[in-house]
Amino acid sequence: MEFLLAFVLVGVAISPLFYAYHLRVQNKQATRIKRALVFNLSAFALMCLVGIIVPLGGFASAATTGAAADISVGQGLAYLAAALGTGLSGIGGGIAVASGSSSAIGAITEDPKVFGKTLIYVGLGEGIALYGFILGLLIFLMKL
């Protein structure tokens, strides 16, 4: 039963992607494709929320034994903070590098002398992801 529920949830999450691809093949308006993708992300966020609130596998019972029983709530939140810090800084760094490098390429095509300056800005964007990774690693190592 749990496998069927998980299969249905995954199917619901990826179904708007098929719809967006179908619209793209038919050269429909970009706003309809964007709406389908926003719906997909909203459905994914809702399923993540449901997965956090209602554990489906029964793995969060009070009768757990072994190493899982030794983890406190504080340690679990520390692991969650490490994961969120690393993941969100990676996403932010990717966005910064994407916009910075495209602007840098445009500036270099107009004036090749600005290569060094633009390289600094792209490196600063990459630094965001690196700082998040180091922060997550430090949190993880402190809780071992």
Residues 137 and 74 in one domain: yes
Mark which of 40, 60, 80 sits at the end of a domain: 60
Mark which of 19, 41, 60 sits at the end of a domain: 60
Residues 143 and 79 in one domain: yes
Residues 42 and 75 in one domain: no
**Residues spanned by the domain of 76:** 70-144
**Is residue 34 within 8 Å of 65, Cβ to Cβ?**
no
Cα 70 to Cα 27, 56, 66, 136: the distances in Å are 55, 22, 7, 21
Q: What is the pTM of this model?
A: 0.52
How does pLDDT run across 35-81, given as a tens digit for each residue? 767 777 777 777 777 766 665 555 555 555 555 557 777 788 888 88
Domain count, the chain: 2
Residues 30 and 90 in one domain: no
What span, in angstroms and rounded, lies between the C-alpha atoms of 44 and 41? 5
**DSSP structural state of residue 63:** T
What average pLDDT is seen over the chain?
Answer: 78
Residues 39 and 81 in one domain: no
Residues 6 and 51 in one domain: yes
Q: What is the CATH number of the domain that holds 116?
A: 1.20.20.10
Tokens describing residue 17:
């992607």
18 versus 138: the higher-pLDDT residue is 138
3-state helix, strand, coil in the chain (%, to 5): 85, 0, 15
Residues 23 and 83 in one domain: no
44 versus 94: the higher-pLDDT residue is 94
Residues 13 and 75 in one domain: no
